[in-house]
Amino acid sequence: MDTILVTGGAGYIGSHTTLALLEKGYRVVVYDNLSTGQEDAVLPPARLVVGDLEDTERLTRLMQEEQFSAVIHFAAHIVVPESVQQPLKYYSNNTSNTTNLIRLAAAHSIPHFVFSSTAAVYGLPESSPVSEQTQLDPINPYGRSKLMSEWVLEDTAAAQDSLRHCTLRYFNVAGADPQGRLGQSTPNATHLIKVACQAALGKREALAIYGTDYPTFDGTGVRDYIHVSDLADVHVRALEYLEQGGASATLNCGYGHGYSVRQIADTVREVSGVDFPVHETQRREGDPAELIADPGRLQTTFEWQPRYDDVATIVRTALDWERKLDHL
């Protein structure tokens, strides 16, 4: 069976994808420096190699040792405000290290590369939903560092017939494995659904709503939340698509509809049965009013249908994991 190199496979989305790959019978080697990832998120029989992307000698040895049929590249720094304060940290890890990884994959004739990109490459889009043709105009170093890597990958694949890629632009990823095996474990996470679940469980005093004066139906920010297990499945489909000879493609990953911050807070209240406190505060800098994917290309290219397109299911799985984290 094919062996896949998963960078960042000890992190939130990478660990769920590793599980989905194992369930499909792939062999998986995770390469992760455990900076935000957790060793126990790499479920057996995946092999964990603890190493940094910066260590190109280590990666070279690994590529010589294993016959990888694909790289799925998740490893990155992901905190937008931090990217504004420390841009070089983001350009080094997300652009420079990614460029080195693409160079090594090409040099070792690894034929397929799947890259974690983000809706942040669109910046503050003027229309909604957002298709892949929407203008690319990232407004922070995180989004720019990812867009530059998209271009490096696209240009390298265009110049080298033996390399094909899928670039996946994730919208808002949330939820946890419905069987409770994995979830989002990063301490100090800032993502809305995780924060709201923590407020419901008394791990935080309250949920702050960042802005109530957006031009949305209830004044709060609207996002397209995709369940992490659906997103993991998209990666498996991306590999199958490339294996079947599919052309390189860039695809938005979302469901095509959005929920406001207030709707998420209400859903967490309903699912948890806890009426936790909510404070309305000012907008967070750089937040667009609404970000909703046009998922048409994803659905037609991969013939893909989601399994967990239901906000209560997303919240329930996130809550279950948040409860379980206390006992791990």
Ligand X SMILES: NC(=O)c1ccc[n+]([C@@H]2O[C@H](COP(=O)([O-])OP(=O)(O)OC[C@H]3O[C@@H](n4cnc5c(N)ncnc54)[C@H](O)[C@@H]3O)[C@@H](O)[C@H]2O)c1
Closer CB to ligand X, residue 37 or residue 288?
37
Alpha helices in 66-132 (DSSP H): 80-85, 87-90, 97-107
Q: Distance from first CA to last CA of the chain, Å, rounded?
A: 33
Q: Where on the chain is the footprint of ligand X (CB under 6 A)?
A: 8, 10-14, 32-37, 52-54, 74-76, 78, 93, 97, 116, 118, 170, 172-173, 186
Closer CB to ligand UPG, residue 28 or residue 318?
318
195 binds ligand UPG per the rule CB under 6 A: yes
Q: Is 142 a catalytic site residue?
A: yes
Non-local (6+) Cβ contacts of 45 within 8 A are 22, 27
- Residue 231 binds: one of ligand X, ligand UPG, none (C-beta under 5 to 8 A by kind): none
Determine whether 253 is exposed, middle or buried from the number of CB atoms within 10 Å of its CB (0-12, 13-18, 19+). Answer: buried
Closer CB to ligand UPG, residue 85 or residue 190?
190
Rounded to a whole number of angstroms, the minimum distance from the CB of residue 192 to ligand UPG is: 4
Residue from 69, 98, 149, 172 binding ligand UPG (CB under 6 A): 172
Q: Which stretch binds ligand UPG (CB under 6 A): 16-24, 106-114, 187-195, 237-245?
A: 187-195
Extract the tokens encoding 40: 């126990």
Catalytic residue among 12, 31, 122, 142: 142
Residue from 168, 291, 314, 319 binding ligand UPG (CB under 6 A): 291
Residue from 12, 171, 241, 255 binding ligand UPG (CB under 6 A): 171
Residue from 287, 297, 299, 313 binding ligand UPG (CB under 6 A): 287
Rounded to a whole number of angstroms, the minimum distance from the CB of residue 222 to ligand X is: 15
Task: Identify residues 52-91 at the interface with ligand UPG (CB under 6 A).
Answer: 78
Closer CB to ligand X, residue 32 or residue 150?
32
Distance in angstroms (rounded) separating the CA atoms of residues 28 and 157: 23
Q: Which stretch binds ligand UPG (CB under 6 A): 69-77, 238-246, 270-278, 283-291?
A: 283-291
Whether 37 and 9 have beta carbons less than 8 Å apart is answered as yes
Closer CB to ligand UPG, residue 59 or residue 192?
192
Rounded to a whole number of angstroms, the minimum distance from the CB of residue 196 to ligand UPG is: 7
Q: What is the largest CA-CA distance in the chain?
A: 56
Task: Identify residues 211-250 at the interface with ligand UPG (CB under 6 A).
Answer: 221, 223
Query: Considering Cα of 281, then 284, then 285, then 287, what sign does the dihedral take?
Result: negative
Q: Which stretch binds ligand UPG (CB under 6 A): 158-166, 190-198, 239-247, 269-277?
A: 190-198
Distance in angstroms (rounded) separating the CA atoms of residues 58 and 212: 49
Determine whether 223 is exposed, middle or buried from the number of CB atoms within 10 Å of its CB (0-12, 13-18, 19+). Answer: buried
- Residue 97 binds: one of ligand X, ligand UPG, none (C-beta under 5 to 8 A by kind): ligand X
C-alpha distances (whole Å) from 233 to each of 6, 16, 167, 240, 317 are 14, 9, 15, 11, 16
Extract the tokens encoding 327: 């006992």
User: 3-state SS of 53-65?
Assistant: CCCHHHHHHHHHH
145 binds ligand UPG per the rule CB under 6 A: no
Closer CB to ligand UPG, residue 172 or residue 272?
172
The β-bridge partners of 73 are 7, 115
C-alpha distances (whole Å) from 6 to each of 28, 53, 62, 95 are 7, 12, 12, 17
Catalytic residues: 142
Instruction: Give me the residues that bind ligand UPG (CB under 6 A), please.
Output: 78, 118-120, 171-172, 190-192, 195, 207-210, 221, 223, 261, 284, 287, 291
